[in-house]
């Protein structure tokens, strides 16, 4: 704006390029930036197309519905049932989100509303640091700490007291490699994302709203409950969605603790076999066997579609929920 | 635990090497004559990777003009790369399938390895296991049909009701495939909780007194002491099915195990040949290298922790390559 004014004032005409040239530059910049901004979408579509093409050999033999609902995974005998893997993905992700969301919300509320600045400056970077730990390290930690803990303490205890009544806690898996172990490791991994987003969103709630609430005699908790949280809710949901997307695709850490048995789990102590683990376990060895290769790329396609659908649906729900597009 | 961390580090380093090696494949044809030169690119099974780097090193001492580009990434990758022309030689630690043969895979066996069944050293019936050995039918009952579920059943003492905790490999690899082949099945038919990688499976069995698993020979024994890794016990396979573990079925040290595998007294499978695969019959430099591997190269097999093929098998391989 300022350059325009100066140019039209005539004082800098000799140094500034002419108006058509500046307009051309502006046009070029706009087009270039939009092209670069569109690149991720193009790449996403390219990946989707490539996966569809590479999956075709198996779709020609088996109808899609059979693949999605089949329970038997014996690729070398021509049985390609993806259902146990889809179920495994959903189980592990759901358990991790159920475990992660309550403590994450409380942590974020504490950090945003209660914590003194000193506490906040120390705690916040430490939580963010959790996001920087490589997933294979989480996996090792899961094998060394979480799996034995589930095997020796949680599974015998819950199995004994609740297993007979609630099938969710009953199992014949004697080891700790289970949905719960995967869920626990994942919960810690997605926590920094959920906490960070929730914290930032609560920070954007105008200070005036808190002051107004406190001024009419509300306590701090009442202020949070009636003034801050309703306003921050869409953002919090977005944070949980981000965490879930990450949980859906997490591979290494989950694969190391989840047991990798291609059977639909019926209890949190059963082993499960999520889609990313299926791909990672087999791709390097089996990519030279044509149908196996197509089946594994099919697994990748299913995973991609699950993540896409999940994200699209949550965005739509969110929009419906707040009645307008998210800012 | 130290072992797993070390292995993970090794895997990452290898993965980094693999990535850096990835774009540069291709080989200049070696001119006829004594002076070999050019680049040989190799990729494939983790199981053969340490051996191949050793061979490459020694071959380079003899022919300084030959360069090597060796990477690991799984037997399937080696096969796909070799068939697709991305590398000259693929390392494949399992049998070559009919599909792959039809696509032009040409292979020779270059060394041997073996998969050994292991249990925890604190197993409740260890005494009986040491005395009786483990028959193939017992393994089938545990790993395939799932009919055998307690350690008491294994040793014929129904009063012992300790459950068997069955572990297998989650990742597709030569070792589980060979183990399944011993039980007349495929890896996808093996029962048990899947654990990632050789070190992972070993760790799971060491930590679980009721556990059973299987490992490559190189992982089952401690390299310095030659004894099984602390906390693990190598199960004797009752190969002649006489109901007892004979002296030669008890593999108490690494040297003993390697000897039994080399002499063919350890059943095959679970002993297995490690293969080098080329797209069609190799020529020129690649042929010269594989020939060297099968002759002078065999001198380094033992010290790298692998088992030599018998002379007959070596001759058969040589005949195939010449």
Which chain A residue shows the shortest CA-CA distance from B97? A289
| Residue B283 located in a structural domain | yes
Number of H helices, E strands in chain A: 15, 2
* Whether B203 contacts chain A with CB within 8 A: yes
Domain boundary residue, one of B222, B237, B262: B262
B104 and B120 fall within a common domain = no
Whether the CB-CB separation of A60 and A249 falls below 8 Å is answered with no
The alpha carbon of residue B145 is apart from the nearest alpha carbon of chain A, in Å, by 15
C-alpha distances (whole Å) from B275 to each of A23, B214, B278 are 66, 21, 10
| Residue B83 located in a structural domain | yes
| Residue B303 located in a structural domain | yes
Q: Which two tokens stand for residue B1?
A: 């635990």
Beta bridge partners of B163: B150
B204·A177 Cβ contact <8 A: yes
- Burial of A120: CB neighbours in 10 Å, binned 0-12, 13-18, 19+: middle
Helix (H, G, I), strand (E, B) or coil at B169: strand
ipTM: 0.75
Which chain B residue shows the shortest CA-CA distance from A286? B76
pLDDT of residue A107: 93
pLDDT of residue B175: 84
Domain boundary residue, one of B262, B291, B313: B262
Contacts 24+ apart (CB under 8 A), B220-225: B220/B116, B220/B118, B220/B257, B221/B253, B221/B254, B221/B257, B222/B254, B223/B254, B223/B305
Helices (H), chain B: 2-22, 49-62, 75-84, 98-102, 126-132, 136-143, 151-155, 174-182, 197-207, 217-220, 254-262, 284-294, 311-321
Closest of A275, A74, A70, A299 to residue B180, by C-alpha: A74
- Each residue of B203-218: pLDDT tens digit? 889 888 888 999 888 7
Any idea what DSSP says for residue B266? Answer: S
| Residue B232 located in a structural domain | yes
Closest of B175, B92, B17, B252 to residue A289, by C-alpha: B92
User: Do strands B89-92 and B66-72 pair parallel, antiparallel, or not at all (unpaired)?
Assistant: unpaired
Collect all residues of chain A within an 8 Å Cβ-Cβ radius of residue B97: 289
Q: What angle do CA A96, A98, A102 make, to 5 degrees?
A: 115
Residues in Cβ contact with B155 at an 8 Å cutoff, skipping those fewer than 6 apart: B125, B128, B129, B132
Closest of B89, B91, B86 to residue B26, by C-alpha: B86
B255 and B162 fall within a common domain = yes
Mean pLDDT estimate for chain B: 81
* Distance from C-alpha of A217 to C-alpha of A129, rounded to nearest angstrom: 38
Interface of A with B (CB under 8 A): 73-77, 136, 140, 143-144, 148, 173-175, 177, 255-256, 259-262, 271, 273, 277, 280-290
User: Do strands B38-44 and B66-72 pair parallel, antiparallel, or not at all (unpaired)?
Assistant: parallel
| Residue B1 located in a structural domain | no
Rounded average pLDDT over B7-36: 50
Domain boundary residue, one of B222, B242, B262: B262
* Distance from C-alpha of B208 to C-alpha of B123, rounded to nearest angstrom: 9
pLDDT of residue B300: 86
Whether the CB-CB separation of B158 and A271 falls below 8 Å is answered with no
Sign for the CA dihedral angle at B125, B128, B130, B134 comes to negative
Task: Name the residue facing B76 among A140, A177, A285 (closest C-beta).
Answer: A285
Task: Using the structure block, give the residue that is written with the tokens 């130290």.
Answer: B2
How many of the other CB atoms lie within 10 Å of CB of B37?
15
Residues in Cβ contact with A289 at an 8 Å cutoff, skipping those fewer than 6 apart: A76, B76, B97, B99, B100
How many of the other CB atoms lie within 10 Å of CB of A193?
22
Q: Do you know the residue count of chain A?
A: 327
* Distance from C-alpha of B167 to C-alpha of A255, rounded to nearest angstrom: 14
* Distance from C-alpha of B227 to C-alpha of B245, rounded to nearest angstrom: 18
Q: Tell me the pLDDT of chain A (327 aa) as tens digits.
A: 444 544 444 455 557 778 888 999 999 999 999 999 999 999 999 999 999 998 988 888 888 888 888 888 888 888 888 999 999 999 999 999 999 999 999 999 999 989 898 999 999 899 988 888 998 899 999 998 999 898 888 888 887 777 777 777 877 777 889 999 999 999 999 999 999 999 999 988 899 999 999 999 999 999 999 989 988 888 888 889 989 998 998 888 999 999 888 889 888 888 999 999 998 888 877 777 778 888 899 999 999 999 999 989 888 887 876 655 444
Helix (H, G, I), strand (E, B) or coil at B71: strand
Beta bridge partners of B228: B221
Collect all residues of chain B within an 8 Å Cβ-Cβ radius of residue A280: 171
Rounded average pLDDT over B24-49: 67
Q: Which two tokens stand for residue A243?
A: 């965490």
B252 and B119 fall within a common domain = yes
B202 and B295 fall within a common domain = no
**Residue B276: which H helix or E strand, with range?**
strand B271-279
* Whether B194 contacts chain A with CB within 8 A: yes
Q: Which two tokens stand for residue A53?
A: 């093409």
* Whether B205 contacts chain A with CB within 8 A: no
Collect all residues of chain B within an 8 Å Cβ-Cβ radius of residue A285: 74-77, 171-173
Q: Which two tokens stand for residue A314?
A: 């949550």
* Minimum mean pLDDT range among A166-170, B140-144, B289-293: A166-170
| Residue B225 located in a structural domain | yes
B194 and B54 fall within a common domain = no
Task: Name the residue facing A74 among B12, B188, B194 (closest C-beta).
Answer: B188
B104 and B243 fall within a common domain = no
Collect all residues of chain A within an 8 Å Cβ-Cβ radius of residue B80: 287-288
| Residue B33 located in a structural domain | no
**Residue B166: which H helix or E strand, with range?**
strand B165-169
Task: Name the residue facing B195 among A177, A262, A282 (closest C-beta).
Answer: A177
What is the separation, in whole angstroms, between the first and last Cα of chain A?
26
Whether the CB-CB separation of B309 and B109 falls below 8 Å is answered with yes
* Whether B171 contacts chain A with CB within 8 A: yes
C-alpha distances (whole Å) from A142 to each of A186, A243, A255, A267 are 10, 19, 10, 19
B131 and B250 fall within a common domain = yes
Confidence of residue B4 (pLDDT cuts 50, 70, 90): low
Largest CA distance in chain A: 88
B188·A77 Cβ contact <8 A: yes
Whether the CB-CB separation of B108 and B275 falls below 8 Å is answered with yes
SS (H, E, C) B6-55: HHHHHHHHHHHHHHHHHCCCCCCCCCCCCCCCEEEEEEECCCCHHHHHHH
Closest of B109, B117, B115 to residue B134, by C-alpha: B117
Count of A-B CB contacts under 8 Å: 95
B92 and B137 fall within a common domain = no
Closest of B202, B197, B210 to residue B164, by C-alpha: B210
Q: Which two tokens stand for residue B315?
A: 């001759």
B67 lies in which domain range? 38-109+274-321
* Whether B189 contacts chain A with CB within 8 A: yes
Task: Name the residue facing A284 among B5, B76, B165 (closest C-beta).
Answer: B76
| Residue B10 located in a structural domain | no
B309 and B178 fall within a common domain = no
Distance of alpha carbon B169 from the chain centroid: 13
Q: Which two tokens stand for residue B118?
A: 């292991």
User: Do strands B211-216 and B105-120 pair parallel, antiparallel, or not at all (unpaired)?
Assistant: antiparallel
- Burial of B71: CB neighbours in 10 Å, binned 0-12, 13-18, 19+: buried
Q: Which two tokens stand for residue A6?
A: 């100066």
B233 and B138 fall within a common domain = yes
B144 and B250 fall within a common domain = yes
Collect all residues of chain B within an 8 Å Cβ-Cβ radius of residue A174: 163, 165, 210
Task: Name the residue facing B193 among A74, A261, A290 (closest C-beta).
Answer: A261
Higher per-residue confidence, B223 vs A224: A224
* Distance from C-alpha of A144 to C-alpha of A146, rounded to nearest angstrom: 6
We report the CATH number of the domain holding residue B219 as 3.40.190.10
Count how many domains chain B has. Answer: 2
Angle subtended by helix axes A275-286 and B75-84, to nearest 10:
50
B90 and B142 fall within a common domain = no
């Amino acid at each position: 704006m300022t350059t325009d004014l100066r140019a039209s004032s005539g004082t800098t005409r000799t140094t500034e390029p002419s108006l058509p040239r500046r307009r051309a530059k502006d046009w070029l910049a706009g087009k270039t930036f939009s092209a670069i901004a569109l690149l991720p979408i193009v790449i996403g579509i390219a990946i989707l197309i490539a996966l569809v093409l590479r999956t075709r050999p198996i779709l020609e033999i088996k109808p899609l519905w059979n693949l999605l609902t089949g329970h038997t995974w014996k690729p070398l005998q021509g049985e390609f049932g993806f259902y146990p893997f889809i179920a495994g993905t959903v189980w592990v992700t759901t358990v991790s989100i159920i475990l992660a969301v309550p403590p994450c919300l409380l942590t974020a509320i504490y950090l945003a509303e209660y914590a003194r600045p000193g506490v906040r400056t120390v705690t916040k970077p430490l939580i963010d640091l959790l996001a920087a730990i490589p997933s294979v390290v989480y996996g090792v930690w899961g094998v060394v700490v979480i799996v034995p803990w589930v095997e020796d303490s949680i599974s015998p205890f819950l199995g004994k007291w609740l297993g007979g009544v609630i099938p969710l806690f009953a199992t014949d898996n004697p080891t700790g490699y289970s949905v719960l172990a995967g869920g626990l490791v994942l919960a810690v991994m997605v926590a920094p994302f959920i906490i960070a987003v929730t914290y930032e969103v609560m920070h954007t709630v105008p200070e005036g709203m808190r002051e107004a609430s406190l001024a009419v005699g509300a306590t701090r908790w009442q202020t949070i409950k009636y003034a801050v949280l309703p306003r921050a809710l869409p953002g919090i949901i977005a944070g949980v969605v981000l965490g879930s997307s990450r949980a859906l695709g997490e591979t290494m850490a989950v694969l190391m603790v989840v047991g990798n048995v291609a059977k639909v789990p019926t209890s949190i102590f059963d082993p499960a076999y999520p889609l990313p683990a299926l791909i990672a376990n087999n791709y390097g060895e089996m990519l030279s066997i044509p149908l196996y290769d197509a089946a594994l790329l099919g697994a990748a396609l299913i995973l991609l579609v699950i993540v896409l659908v999940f994200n699209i649906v949550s965005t739509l729900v969110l929009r419906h929920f707040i009645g307008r597009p998210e800012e | 635990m130290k072992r797993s961390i070390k292995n993970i580090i090794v895997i990452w380093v290898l993965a980094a090497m693999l990535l850096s090696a990835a774009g540069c494949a291709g080989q200049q044809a070696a001119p006829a004559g004594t002076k070999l030169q050019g680049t040989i690119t190799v990729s494939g099974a983790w199981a053969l990777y340490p051996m191949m780097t050793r061979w490459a090193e020694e071959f380079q001492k003899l022919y300084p003009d030959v360069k090597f580009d060796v990477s690991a990434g799984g037997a399937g990758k080696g096969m796909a790369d070799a068939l697709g022309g991305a590398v000259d030689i693929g390392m494949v630690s399992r049998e070559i399938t009919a599909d792959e043969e039809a696509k032009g895979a040409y292979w020779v066996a270059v060394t041997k390895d073996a998969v050994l069944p292991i249990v925890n050293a604190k197993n409740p019936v260890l005494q009986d296991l040491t005395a009786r050995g483990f028959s193939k039918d017992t393994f089938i009952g545990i790993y395939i049909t799932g009919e055998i579920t307690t350690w008491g059943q294994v040793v014929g003492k129904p009063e012992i009701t300790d459950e068997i905790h069955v572990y297998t490999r989650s990742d597709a690899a030569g070792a589980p495939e060979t183990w399944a082949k011993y039980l007349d099945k495929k890896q996808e038919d093996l029962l048990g909780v899947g654990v990632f990688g050789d070190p992972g499976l070993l760790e799971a069995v060491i930590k679980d007194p009721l556990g059973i698993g299987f490992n490559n020979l190189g992982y089952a024994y401690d390299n310095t002491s030659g004894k099984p890794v602390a906390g693990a016990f190598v199960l004797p396979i009752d190969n002649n099915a006489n109901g007892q573990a004979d002296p030669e079925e008890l593999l108490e040290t690494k040297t003993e195990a390697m000897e039994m595998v080399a002499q063919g007294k350890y059943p095959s499978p679970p002993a297995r040949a490690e293969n080098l695969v080329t797209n069609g019959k190799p020529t020129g430099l690649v042929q010269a290298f594989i020939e060297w591997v099968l002759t002078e190269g065999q001198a380094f097999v033992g010290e790298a922790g692998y088992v030599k093929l018998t002379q007959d098998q070596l001759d058969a391989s040589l005949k195939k390559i010449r």
